[in-house]
Amino acid sequence: MPKAAVMSAPRKAIEVRDFPSPDLESGAVLLDTIASEVCGTDVHLHHGRLAGVPFPIIPGHVSVGRIHALRDVSTDALGAPLAEGDVVTFYDVHGTCGQCWYCLVARQPNRCPSRRVYGITFSADDGLLGGWAEQIYLKPGVLIVKIPDGLSADDVIGGGCGLFTGFGAVERGDIPLGGTVLVQGAGPVGLASAAFAALRGAARVILIGAPQGRLDLARRLGADDVFLLESTSPHERETAVRDLTQGRGVDVAIEAAGNPAAVPEGLRLLRDGGTYVIAGHYTDVGPVSLNMHTDVNRKHAQVRGQWGTDFTHVARALALLARHRDRLPFADVIGARYGLQDAGRALADVEALRVTKAVIMPNGTAA
Ligand SMILES: [Zn+2]
Ligand SMILES: [Zn+2]
């Protein structure tokens, strides 16, 4: 009987429960979980700040596992052969219908109402559909990707969902080759945004965030200039960013802070005609006051939201990670590893910013 850590309701203690061993329907794959992440979304889930969550749930959306069994599945989503024992990850979004107005007309499947997400919008009553579990049941149609040669489970889970969200945010920003980029926030999304912005060919990547340990990681991942949020004033940061951009401001700014106060500052630090991507407001943290004349209209700014990720981000981020592993040491972002019974402590450590990337290892924490 596989065990899983269950979030039964917001603010309730995480409990470990036994689940029946699943029977595999045709097209399904069962994983022995190697690692699953704890991300800011899990903290928001635990605070009850996400709508439409069918508690009880098994949290853990991005995960890496070893194939325990598979039924009528011979390749991953990219065509690579799959067999028992292979180490894989999977796109956490499942059930996008391909038939609704958003899927067909707007071509915006990330707003498809049928879309479900492992570890977030699947109920634990429906089985092992989250990563904080000894086994994960991948329903027919879940998009699986074999971990590319040369990459470890740690390389992938160290970036976690931030890897794919940051990749998506960088693309959404259309960063010009040789351009300047500001990233606000040094959590996993901010770190991945800085890393992919540098890889994409930005001439300068500036990051504002906290705490100091995360800024050191940001430098290793590709940020050129970092500013510690609590030891600089907004005015000091504005002066510094203007000095670094000949007074103009950056071409592209990416908000990965999840704090409304970041938005007016980000717009102020954007050059005229620049692009601002909002990727950090995954939950409703309230409104913010902007001056539409100076910050948007006269500035001729483009403001774009980034909601979730598409499979294309997963596939291409992993390909890039495999190609540039030496420049993208995401395994080093892992701050601590926890067993299933310590999932509650992992959540508390992430909430308190004690660790950047906490990893749940349901079958043992030996890497
Ligand atoms: Zn749809
Ligand atoms: Zn996440």
Q: How far apart are CA 321 and CA 155, in angstroms?
A: 8
* pTM for the structure as a whole: 0.94
Closest ligand to residue 119's CA = 2
Q: How many CB atoms lie within 10 A of CB 287?
A: 8
Closest ligand to residue 103's CA = 1
188 CA to centre of ligand 2 in angstroms: 9
Closest ligand to residue 100's CA = 1
List CB-based neighbours of ion ligand 1 within 5 Å. 97, 100, 103, 112
Q: How far apart are CA 138 and CA 86, in angstroms?
A: 14
Q: Which tens digits make up the pLDDT trace of 253-295?
A: 999 999 999 999 999 999 999 999 999 998 889 999 999 999 9
41 CA to centre of ligand 2 in angstroms: 5
3-class secondary structure, 320: helix
3-class secondary structure, 211: coil
Q: Which tens digits make up the pLDDT trace of 118-155?
A: 999 999 999 999 999 999 999 999 999 999 999 999 99
206 CA to centre of ligand 2 in angstroms: 23
Closest ligand to residue 108's CA = 1
By DSSP bridging, strand 15-18 and strand 334-338 are unpaired
242 CA to centre of ligand 2 in angstroms: 33
141 CA to centre of ligand 1 in angstroms: 15
**What are the respective helix, strand and coil percentages of the chain, to the nearest 5?**
30, 25, 45
145 CA to centre of ligand 2 in angstroms: 18
270 CA to centre of ligand 2 in angstroms: 27
Both tokens of 353, joined, read: 């910013």
Q: How far apart are CA 157 and CA 136, in angstroms?
A: 15
98 CA to centre of ligand 1 in angstroms: 5
Sign of CA dihedral 57, 90, 36, 19: positive
pLDDT for the residue 210? 95
Give the H/E segment covering residue 313: helix 311-323
By DSSP bridging, strand 357-360 and strand 29-38 are antiparallel
CB distance 223 to 199 below 8 Å: no
CB distance 87 to 146 below 8 Å: yes
335 CA to centre of ligand 2 in angstroms: 16
DSSP 290: -
Closest ligand to residue 107's CA = 1
pLDDT for the residue 21? 94
The per-residue pLDDT string of the chain (367 residues; one tens digit each, 9 = 90 and over) reads 999 999 999 999 999 999 999 999 999 999 999 999 999 899 999 999 988 999 999 999 999 999 999 999 999 999 999 999 999 999 999 999 999 999 999 999 989 999 999 999 999 999 999 999 999 999 999 999 999 999 999 999 999 999 999 999 999 999 999 999 999 999 999 999 999 999 999 999 999 999 999 999 999 999 999 999 999 999 999 999 999 999 999 999 999 999 999 999 999 999 999 999 999 998 889 999 999 999 999 999 999 999 989 999 999 999 999 999 999 999 999 999 999 999 999 999 999 989 989 999 999 876 5
Q: How many CB atoms lie within 10 A of CB 212?
A: 13
Report CA 189 to chain centroid distance, whole Å: 6
160 CA to centre of ligand 2 in angstroms: 7
Torsion of CA 11, 14, 18, 19, to 10 degrees: 50
77 CA to centre of ligand 1 in angstroms: 19
